[in-house]
């Protein structure tokens, strides 16, 4: 398994919890010795426009975060391409699952996962996908991006109902599993739901169904998770199950 990461993701680009200093550093400390790292390049405008409107793209440009936002998209795209051959994890920011085609909120600017899935489809690498989101918050942006596209199933795990992921993965058809990996449901984070070992189980379930149903094709993209005391350990646990 490969980890997609760029040093620019460490930059504090905004005054919000997702951009805070130390957040990615605590993850790197836990995993950097265990995996091969791949450096992404920024996404192209044409990639972003696969999901977002030109008007909204201009808004993001004017906000001053466009460069880091397209680099995050590029990280997700890189992970999705790697996933055709082996699992991948995009250690990126800003997050993306609250970014709809024409608006964004919740620390999100462009929808990294949605764009990467749409690009795989545009390049005929896949025909169908399922997106599993275990972040504390519902990914309204991802749901909005694919609400009219029956080729993509979006599932947000409610509460601590890990079994719901299995219920979806055993009933729908897909060529790849994309994961919005948010870690803010931990009992020491904002959600007070999950233990660290639960993330390993989530990763294991996704791996099992990917290997059974879509040649092992799977990748995950970082979304939420804000307590640096446990975030790195939670990511490490997930990757151990997922790899």
Helix (H) or strand (E) holding 69: helix 66-82
Q: What strands, in cross-sheet order, belong to the sheet with 177-181?
A: 36-38, 2-4, 88-90, 218-222, 177-181, 129-133, 152-156
Query: How far is it, in rounded angstroms, from Cα 96 to Cα 80?
Result: 15
d(CA 27, CA 15): 20
Best CA proximity match to 104, nearest among 72, 161, 142, 135: 142
Residues 6+ apart with CB under 8 A from 143: 154, 156
- To the query of whether residue 98 is one of the catalytic residues in this protein, the response is yes
Cα-Cα-Cα-Cα dihedral sign, residues 79, 70, 175, 209: positive
Identified catalytic residue from 98, 155, 156, 186: 98
**Residues involved in catalysis:** 98
């Amino acid at each position: 398994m490969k980890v997609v990461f760029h040093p620019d993701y460490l930059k504090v680009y905004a005054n919000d919890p997702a951009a805070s200093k130390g957040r990615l550093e605590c993850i790197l400390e836990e995993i950097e010795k265990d995996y091969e790292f791949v450096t992404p390049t920024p996404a192209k405008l044409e990639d972003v426009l696969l999901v977002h409107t030109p008007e909204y793209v201009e808004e993001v440009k004017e906000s001053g975060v466009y460069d880091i936002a397209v680099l995050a998209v590029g990280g997700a795209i890189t992970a999705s391409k790697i996933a055709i051959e082996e699992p991948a994890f995009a250690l990126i920011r800003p997050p993306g699952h609250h970014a709809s085609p024409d608006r964004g909120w919740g620390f999100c600017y462009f929808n990294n996962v949605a764009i990467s899935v749409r690009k795989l489809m545009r390049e005929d690498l896949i025909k169908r996908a399922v997106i599993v989101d275990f972040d504390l918050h519902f990914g309204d942006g991802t749901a909005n991006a694919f609400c009219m596209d029956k080729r993509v199933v979006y599932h947000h795990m409610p509460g601590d109902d890990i079994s719901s992921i299995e219920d979806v993965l055993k009933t729908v058809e897909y060529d790849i599993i994309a994961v919005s990996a948010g870690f803010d449901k931990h009992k020491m984070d904002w959600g007070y739901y999950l233990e660290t070992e639960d993330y390993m189980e989530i990763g294991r379930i996704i791996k099992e169904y990917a290997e059974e149903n879509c040649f092992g094709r799977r990748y995950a993209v970082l979304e939420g998770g804000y307590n640096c005391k446990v975030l790195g350990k939670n990511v490490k646990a997930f990757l151990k199950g997922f790899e």
